[in-house]
């Protein structure tokens, strides 16, 4: 049993965390912040496919579902960021 066999649904959380970091990287780059949801969604979709092929317990039965799971996971990183901003009262432009 490899380390990848133990991930399962945790792989989805890992995609969210990675996408959050991608979004944070875009925010500090010269790219316009309005593109963050598109970029993290695309990154999530790509990571979903990677998870499908390399994580045996990844919660998807086919590649299309894996892409969808990845996109939703990636976009949830944007939602998490917004919740933290709203609850913390921070003002970002």
Comparing 6-10, 17-21, 42-46, 80-84, the range with the smallest average pLDDT is 6-10
pLDDT in tens, 21-55: 999 999 999 999 899 999 999 999 999 999 999 88
Going from the C-alpha of 86 to that of each of 34, 36, 76, 82, 92, the distances in angstroms are 18, 18, 15, 6, 11
pLDDT in tens, 66-80: 999 999 999 998 888
pLDDT for 92 beyond 70: no
| Confidence at 63, pLDDT banded by 50, 70, 90 | very high
DSSP-assigned letter for residue 3: G
Q: E-assigned strands of 1-93? A: none
| Confidence at 19, pLDDT banded by 50, 70, 90 | very high
DSSP-assigned letter for residue 6: G
């Amino acid at each position: 049993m490899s380390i990848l066999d133990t991930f399962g649904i945790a792989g989805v959380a890992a995609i969210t965390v990675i996408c959050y970091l991608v979004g944070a990287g875009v925010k500090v780059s010269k790219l316009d912040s309005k593109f963050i949801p598109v970029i993290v969604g695309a990154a999530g979709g790509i990571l979903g496919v990677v998870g499908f092929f390399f994580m045996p317990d990844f919660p998807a039965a086919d590649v299309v579902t894996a892409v969808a799971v990845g996109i939703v996971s990636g976009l949830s990183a944007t939602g998490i960021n917004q919740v933290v901003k709203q609850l913390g009262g921070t003002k970002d432009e």
